[in-house]
Amino acid sequence: MVYLDHAATTPVRPEVLADLTDGFGVLGNASSLHAAGRQARRVVEEARETVADALGCTPHEVVFTSGGTEADNLAVKGLYWARNAQDPARRRILVSAVEHHAVLDPARWMADHQGAVVEELPVDACGRLSPETLRAAIERDPADVALVSVMWANNEVGTVQPVAELAAVAAEYGIWFHTDAVQAVGAEEVDFAASGVSALSLTGHKLGGPVGVGALLLARGVDPVPMLHGGGQERDIRSGTLTTPLLRGFATAVRLAVAERAEHTAHVAALRDELVAAVRAAVPDVRVNGHPTERLAGIANLGFPGCEGDALLMLLDARGICCSAGSACTAGVAQASHVLLAMGADPDTAREALRFSLGRDSTADDVKALAEAIGPAVERAREARARRRS
């Protein structure tokens, strides 16, 4: 199998697997006061310190969650509720039009059920939101904006947003700024304090950690209304028994991903360039989607004129090559990518794209396998599409 879908999930690193294996054999609830509980609490707090050290925040600013989706929901819903409670006039949620559905869907739910007004801000043809666009949206009525949420880096096309500049615009008006950094941690330099953001989401399984664990970083004074109520864990922000082994493995994954970022990005950037060149040699009219320079090193989103992306994906899968037609969360849903549509593509063009994403264990042999398979697969996909339309 040739795995070119690391933006969907990554293999668990051996160091992390060792942490998980050891941890699941140890008994103790981190909320218990006896010796076993105190030992579990020590593991939790050491994990918190490790994440904080790696990402430029204090341990107090790290709130553990079950992953990126929960962290995004807690940020969008909880921060909106908190600001709206302080000032009921603050009803607007501003998001970029290319956000992951873990941000878009809770924002739209807030509009449908909680009286929020959601504005999806336009991006340019490369998928970037400009600070000027954000400023213009805020200045229509700065007093009614509850929250801004813009992802650090896009999961489909890899475009990196000017997060520090956007956060600075929001800060001018005293507006909390959340960023989904699920794809960015370990791929970009992510420093929570230096970025100026109010809240930041990340998850373990995108960077060699386990599925089922993540975090929401919250600046001091930024306190969301909880979505979960129960034991009062995580400063009453996120109740639920802490899964100590997962947190230990998550912290190890974050630490290693950040420490090895420069080497990792150089490796996958070189492979990505080889991949694009190899595909272009086989399919000369292929399009490269996303920003030409401000992009993640490991993602290549390619458009294949005359093909249905889903059909092409299955043809490659039959050759043992795993890739994606967009976000893994929407796989199997017959719809055009909302990211490409927001970037100005028409629906047919948006359906022609595939995402190839590289990871720590990707090799030149993977690229070679794709290069050999892509030409015949595109030819068959084009023939099938032409037959359906004739």
Question: Catalytic site residues?
Answer: 329
Q: Which residues pair with 117 in a beta bridge?
A: 92
Secondary structure of 121-171 in HEC code, one letter for each residue: ECCCCCCCCCHHHHHHHHHCCHHHEEEEECCCECCCCCEECCHHHHHHHHH
Distance CA 269, CA 359 (A): 10
Distance CA 192, CA 211 (A): 23
212: left (phi over 0), alpha (psi -120 to 50) or beta: left
Distance CA 145, CA 174 (A): 9
Report residue 98 as tokens.
């290319």
Element (DSSP H or E) covering residue 326: none
State the pairing for strand pair 145-149/92-96.
parallel
For the CA atoms of 44, 50, 52, 56, the dihedral, rounded to the nearest 10 degrees, stands at 180
Indicate the SS3 state at residue 215: strand
Q: b/e map of 143-162 (b: 16 or more CB within 10 Å)?
A: eebbbbbbbbbbbbbbbbbb
Exposed/middle/buried for 239, CB within 10 Å: 0-12, 13-18, 19+? middle
Q: Which residues contact 123 (CB under 8 A, 6 or more apart)?
A: 96, 97, 98, 129, 342, 343
- Concatenate the DSSP letters of all residues of 232-267 into one string: -TTTTTS-S---HHHHHHHHHHHHHHHHTHHHHHHH
